[in-house]
Structure 1
Amino acid sequence: MPVSPAMAEDLAAAITMLYEDAELALITKLREALAEGIDSPRWAEIKLRSIGDLRQAVETVARALQRDANGRVAEALATAYGRGRQAAVAELGALDIGRELHARRVLPNAPAVDRLAASYADDTRPLYQRITRAVLDVFRGVSSRAAGTQLLTGITRREASQRALDEFARRGVTGFVDSAGRPWEMAAYAEMAVRSVTARAAIEGHIDAMAEVGQGLVIVSDAPLECPLCAQWEGEVLSLQGPPGPRTVRTEHAVQPSGLRGLLRPPETVAVHIAGSLPEARAAGLFHPNCRHSLSLYLPGVTTRPPHHATPGTSYADTQRQRAIERHIRRWKRAQAAAIDDVARRKAAAKVREWQAAARAHVAAHEHIDRKSAREQIGRAR
């Protein structure tokens, strides 16, 4: 069976919930810390004295998140890698090498799994280092400005606190910049990183298994609503190893005559156009997060190009609009969690309903787009 990033989506979703739960916990702790004694004339003084307690609470959340996420990722990578191997076994089942591959036992701590787990831990380490500073910066900022806020601007400390909480709920833990220079907030980056690394584990398991039995060519599926990064690779044959760049080679036909006829005739060969190597295609964007494409074994002379999937009336931009609507829904649900009073809570709830209506309208207008309610949830409900 083909292998694709979708094979590991459920594993990534379960881990992403850890980050969303942590983000909700941080919002709740910050809200409670600011709201406690908010009507007291000594509120600012009390807040500055209680910063140590908040720091301790936030650091506890950060340590638990790092420990749990790294452990869950290691388990997920082993599972995804195993799924990729089993996909290769299923594809090769009609050949003798399929039975050979099935008989092999590969430990879940394969080198590829260990390498991916270490890479994930390194990539996400800055997130945990940023958490405490991000929360305390908001707390200090509101507390230090509270004394003069109402006199200078007419804004009460309750209003100032709610504004700061709303902004924190909207942006999350920010300040992390990836290797490409793009800024991220914690939950969004963690989701991207988890989905990428688990998808990669499934693909690594698949191609490692095929390489073990001498199969070196794969073909990319034709997926509906493809993005520009992937379009150039659709329906193309890729080599698992070898030089980058397109080339045409002659190779043995996958099905050769058997018996005496096969012994008397030289092996039949066919011309195969190879668009490039799999590492080259992945470096150019194939199998990015949310990629819809899959890989399957290419048998020279047997495998044909996949049919093109037309999606009239729907474009890749329409799918990205759906992702944007989902982010707005999650943003306002976080704002509900950050609400100090019922007024702010009702305002956030109204915004949630507004964007949920936008989601329904968008799906109704595009028959090739399905609504995924799980992507509109935050925390354990997801």
Structure 2
Amino acid sequence: MAVSPALAEDLAAAVAMLYADAEIALIEILRDALVQGIDSPRWAELKLRSIGDLREAVETVTTALQDDANGAVAEALATAYGRGRQAAVAELGALDIGRELHARRILPGAPAVDRLAASYAADTRPLYQRITRAILDLFRSITSRAAGTQLLTGITRRQASQRALDEFARRGVAGFVDSAGRSWELAAYAEMAVRSVTARAAIDGHIDAMAEVGQGLVIVSNAPLECPLCRPWEGEVLALSGPPGPRTVRTEHTVQPTGLRAAFRPPATVAVHVAGSLPEARAAGLFHPNCRHSLSLYLPGVTTRPPDHPTPGTTYEDTQRQRAIERHIRRWKRAEAAAMDDAARTKARAKVREWQAAARAHVAAHEHVVRQPAREQIGRAR
């Protein structure tokens, strides 16, 4: 049984839901803090006095989110790692080593799982501090600007606050920027991080199991609508360890003669072209979040190159257009949560329907693009 990031997708989705719920809760907390007493002439003064209450409410959400997410991720990683091992058992089932592997017991708290869980916790720790700072900074900015805006621009305090909230909802909570300079919504960044780490756990469970019984070669699938990062590795044989770079190795044929023939002949061998090492391919982008590729045991002399999957009329860019449409849908659903009155709420709902129509049209126009409603949802709406 091949292993791929898809093996852990359901686990990542469950954890990402925690962040999506928290994002909506934080937008609503900020909205309610701003709208309370907004028609009072002392509104700005009251807002400055209430900032401590806002901080406490935000920190309550972020602390609970951090605790829940770290616990859920640790559990998801153990499950993903176990699924990867079971995939290896299924692949090796026809061989004697498969029965040997099946008999082994690996505890969910395997060192590989613990390392991944610790890495995830360390990577996301700064995110929670950034959430609190971003919301408090925005609250101060809105109250200071909106206090005298009507005299200067003719825009009411409520309108000015709503505009700022809409922009905040468009960017998403925290507006997190990663090491590559890309800006992420809180829930989208969390989903990416969780999908990445759970996919890694599943693949690590698979390759660790194979390494334990002396299997050192794997082959990458040929997936439809591949991205430029993965294309160089499609259908290629990779070594689980060893130096980077392509090479040809000579190894024993998987099927050897038996009986008298075996006694008088040396083991049959076969030349195998190895494109590089698995760590090298992963570092170059193979098995990135949303990757469609899978990894299988390579049996020298038996395994053949996987077939191509033509997708006429559909390109990788078409799948990226679908991701962009999903982001627009989520953006306007956040705007609905941030709406301070019925007019703003009605506008946001209309935009949601507009982009949902765009999603239906895009899927209808491309045979190999499949709509994923879960990716269009946020928080408690899911």
**Category of TM-score, reference length = shorter chain:** over 0.9
In the alignment, residue 208 of structure 2 is paired with which amino acid?
A: D
1:62 aligned to 2:55? no
- Map residues 15-30 of structure 1 onto 2, 5 A cutoff: 15-30=15-30
Once residues 299 and 180 of structure 1 are traced to their aligned partners in structure 2, the CA distance between those partners, rounded to angstroms, is 38
The reply on whether 1:45 has 2:45 as its aligned counterpart is yes
Task: Quote the residue 1:339 is aligned against.
Answer: 339
Asked whether the 8 Å contact 2:84–2:201 carries over to 1, the reply is yes
Which TM-score applies when normalising by structure 1?
A: 0.99
Residue 298 of structure 1 and its aligned partner are, at CA, apart by 0.1
Q: In the alignment, is residue 131 of structure 1 matched against residue 131 of structure 2?
A: yes
Cα distance per residue 1:286-311 (max 9 Å; x no partner): 00000000000000000000000100
Alpha-carbon distance between aligned partners in 2 of 1:175 and 1:328, rounded to the nearest angstrom? 15
Q: Which residue in 1 is equivalent to 2:262?
A: 262
Name the counterpart of 1:151: 151
Contact 2:172 2:331 in 1 (8 A): no
Do the aligned residues in 2 keep the contact of 1:87 with 1:206 (CA within 8 Å)?
A: yes
Counterpart Cα distance in 2 of 1:261 and 1:297:
27
Q: d(CA) in 2 for partners of 1:285 and 1:174?
A: 26
Deviation at 1:175, TM superposition (A): 4.9
Question: CA shift at 1:203, angstroms?
Answer: 0.1
Structure 1 range deviating more: 254-263 or 166-175? 166-175
Question: Which ranges in structure 1 are unaligned for 5 or more consecutive residues?
Answer: none
| Residue 45 of structure 1, CA deviation | 1.1
Return the alpha-carbon distance in structure 1 between the equivalents of residues 212 and 364 of structure 2. Answer: 47
- RMSD (Å) for aligned C-alpha atoms: 0.9
Structure 2 CA distance for aligned equivalents of residues 222 and 348 of structure 1: 41
Q: Distance in 1 between matches of 2:76 and 2:345?
A: 36
Partner Cα separation in structure 1 for residue 142 and residue 320 of structure 2: 35
Letter in 1 for 2:29: K
- 2:373 maps to 373
Q: Is the 8 A contact 1:126 1:176 kept in 2?
A: no
Code of the residue aligned with 1:7 in structure 2: it is L
Paired residues, number: 382
**Alignment partners' CA distance in 2, 1:352 and 1:313:** 27
Instruction: For residue 173 of structure 1, give the secondary structure of its aligned residue in structure 2.
Output: coil
Any runs of at least 4 consecutive aligned residues in structure 1 with deviations exceeding 2 A, and if so which?
173-185
Instruction: Indicate the larger mover: 82-91 or 157-166.
Output: 157-166
1:308-352 C-alpha deviation (Å, 9 max, x unpaired): 010010000000000000010011011111101000000000000
Deviation at 1:167, TM superposition (A): 1.0
Q: In 1, Cα distance between the equivalents of 2:180 and 2:228?
A: 19
* Residue 244 (1) aligns with residue 210 (2): no
**Quick one: distance in 1 between partners of 2:361 and 2:66?**
39
Paired with 1:217 and 1:146, the residues of 2 have a C-alpha distance of 63
- Give, in whole Å, the separation in 1 of the partners of 2:127 and 2:168: 16
Which whole-Å CA distance do the structure 2 matches of 1:380 and 1:40 have between them? 32
Question: Secondary structure of the residue that 1:248 maps to in structure 2?
Answer: strand
Asked if structure 2 preserves the Cα contact closer than 8 Å seen for 1:130 and 1:173, the reply is no
State the shift of 1:270 in Å.
0.4
Distance 1:126 1:160 in 2: 30
In the aligned structure 1, how far is the partner of 2:207 from the partner of 2:197?
15
Give the Cα–Cα distance (whole angstroms) in 2 for the partners of residues 197 and 146 of structure 1: 42
Which deviates more from structure 2 when the two are superposed, residues 54-63 or residues 142-151? 142-151
Asked if residue 233 in structure 1 is aligned to residue 225 in structure 2, the reply is no
Instruction: Normalising by structure 2, report the TM-score.
Output: 0.99
Q: CA deviation at 1:41?
A: 1.4
